[in-house]
A and B are shown apart, each in its own frame.
Chain A
Amino acid sequence: MIDVWTWLTSGANWVGTDGIWHRLVQHLEYSASSLAIAALIAIPLGLWIGHTGRGRVVAVSLANGIRSIPSLGLLFIVLLILAPHIHSGDAFLIPSIVVLVVLAIPPILAGAYAGVEQVDPAARDAGRGMGLTAWQVLWRIEVPCALPLMFGGFRSAALQVVATATIAATVSVGGLGRFLIDGLAYRDYSMMAGGALLVGLLAISVDAVLAGVQRLVVSPGLRS
């Protein structure tokens, strides 16, 4: 316990390219870019599925299928297949980001289509009755009403990505996971436990920040 505290509080461990600050920034970069790519794919698709009701069965079974693949296996498989074809210095990073995106898509997609689906049909009809076009119904009624569930999906995707980005340190990319994996390799338990503590704190803070944004963005009328 005390060793872990010493590791965390010694300034030398925080600076430099393998210091805590740099690893934290890397971790956030990987997570944010994967989530952004996943959201760009999954939110429009989810809104479309929810709005039209088409493709629901395919989306549900695809999402469930991806969920049952162990993320460690997916990471190694994608890496071994993709890495030989990438000739820049990012041969390990790009496959890792691909895996993070693949893992983030199902929860975001599910949140988006489930959110739009559960919108009160009366609210939708009222919008149509007021002369709104299909686009206006989507943006002014369905999306605002779907926001709580969409945030729910995005938050579980964020947790999944932060956790898996840690595991990706196994394939020699950066991020806070380095301390866990390197600590294990050097049998340096305080580095390992200190890194684990940081990842845990990061996951809890990311979720808290997203919960705060959700409070700001979701209409007060929808809060339960």
Chain B
Amino acid sequence: MIGWFLDNAPRVWSLTLTHAWLSGVPLVIGLAIALPLGWMAHRLPRLRLTIIALAGALYTVPSLVLFILLPLILGTQILDPINVVVAMTLYTVALLVRTVSDGLAAVPDEVRLAAVAMGFGRWRRLVGVELPLAVPVISAGLRVAAVSNVSIVSVAALIGVVQLGSLLTEGFQLLYLPPILVGTIACILLALIFDLVIVVLTRLATPWLRRAA
């Protein structure tokens, strides 16, 4: 396995970069979409049930199904990596909408009232008080999304989108274990790196938690 890795290191590296791109970009876009949606779900209880039910249904659809059906909806080619980016963004949004709304709901009432008493408007309260306090909850959701994105992207190798999953399918076709092991370990390491980045960013965004500890 180590010999195979050394012989193929440049290719493994470039596949890892593609994989990081395909699973990381949807994480950022997904978070950007889930924040306003989660806020809406939190503010409007009637909309909340609809949004959460839709997100749940979306999360139910297996990834391979989404990879195959999206070209039909988007009018793209089946091999187009954009399908994978869209599918992963949908999963990320589906997972995070609920987390964002739960995180905002978990902000203690007395904190909210204190902000009102200090003359904070609705917008300043959201950005300055509620969102920062919801960061730990949102970050926990983001970590789950990151790990599952990395794993799901590898499935796209079955329809021919090249990334670390391609090492898995190649190894299986040759009935040769080394590329499969290298691809799997690279996926796990990539998930670990995403996880670490999110943990570090969360610590930077929540200095008050560090002082308390």
Which of A44-52, A54-62, A138-146, A196-204 lines the interface with chain B? A196-204
CA distance A199 to B64 in the complex (A): 9
CA distance A76 to B170 in the complex (A): 10
Collect the chain B residues with CB atoms within 8 Å of residue A16's CB: none
B21 within 8 A of A: no
Contact of B154 among A4, A70, A184 (CB under 8 A): A70
With A4-B72, A72-B168 as contacts: A166 and B188 at CB distance below 8 Å: no
CB pair B180–A68 under 8 Å, yes or no, is: no
CB pair A159–B60 under 8 Å, yes or no, is: yes
Contact of A73 among B61, B62, B147, B154 (CB under 8 A): B154
Which of B32-40, B97-105, B171-179, B198-206 lines the interface with chain A? B171-179
CA distance A177 to B64 in the complex (A): 9
Collect the chain A residues with CB atoms within 8 Å of residue B188's CB: 68-70
CA distance A162 to B57 in the complex (A): 14
Nearest CB of chain B from residue A110's CB, rounded to whole Å: 12
A77 within 8 A of B: yes
CA distance A143 to B158 in the complex (A): 41
A109 within 8 A of B: no
CB pair A189–B64 under 8 Å, yes or no, is: no
CA distance A167 to B149 in the complex (A): 16
Encoded as 1 (CB less than 8 Å from any A CB) or 0, chain B from 144 to 158 comes to: 000110110011011
CB pair B172–A170 under 8 Å, yes or no, is: yes
CB pair A167–B64 under 8 Å, yes or no, is: yes
Collect the chain A residues with CB atoms within 8 Å of residue B157's CB: 72
CB pair B61–A72 under 8 Å, yes or no, is: no
With A70-B168, A170-B158 as contacts: A196 and B192 at CB distance below 8 Å: no
Nearest CB of chain A from residue B72's CB, rounded to whole Å: 6
CB pair B180–A80 under 8 Å, yes or no, is: yes
How many residues of B are counted as interface, with CB atoms below 8 angstroms from the partner's CB atoms? 36
CB pair A200–B65 under 8 Å, yes or no, is: yes
How many residues of A are counted as interface, with CB atoms below 8 angstroms from the partner's CB atoms? 36
A222 within 8 A of B: no
A74 within 8 A of B: yes
B140 within 8 A of A: no
Encoded as 1 (CB less than 8 Å from any A CB) or 0, chain B from 45 to 83 comes to: 000000000000101111111001100100000100000
A163 within 8 A of B: yes
A102 within 8 A of B: no
CA distance A81 to B59 in the complex (A): 32
CB pair A192–B177 under 8 Å, yes or no, is: no
CB pair B64–A73 under 8 Å, yes or no, is: no
B18 within 8 A of A: no
CA distance A70 to B181 in the complex (A): 11
Beyond the given A68-B147, A76-B168, A180-B64, could you list 16 further A-B residue pairs with CB under 8 A, ordered by the A residue number?
A1-B72, A67-B151, A70-B188, A72-B154, A72-B165, A72-B168, A73-B187, A80-B172, A80-B180, A163-B62, A163-B64, A167-B158, A171-B172, A196-B69, A204-B57, A204-B60
Which positions in B face A, CB cutoff 8 Å?
Answer: 57, 59-65, 68-69, 72, 78, 147-148, 150-151, 154-155, 157-159, 165, 168-169, 171-172, 175, 177, 180-181, 183-184, 187-188, 191-192
Q: Write 17 A-B pairs (CB below 8 A) sorted by A numbering.
A: A4-B72, A68-B188, A70-B155, A71-B151, A72-B155, A163-B62, A163-B63, A163-B65, A180-B68, A196-B64, A197-B69, A199-B64, A200-B60, A200-B65, A200-B69, A203-B61, A204-B61
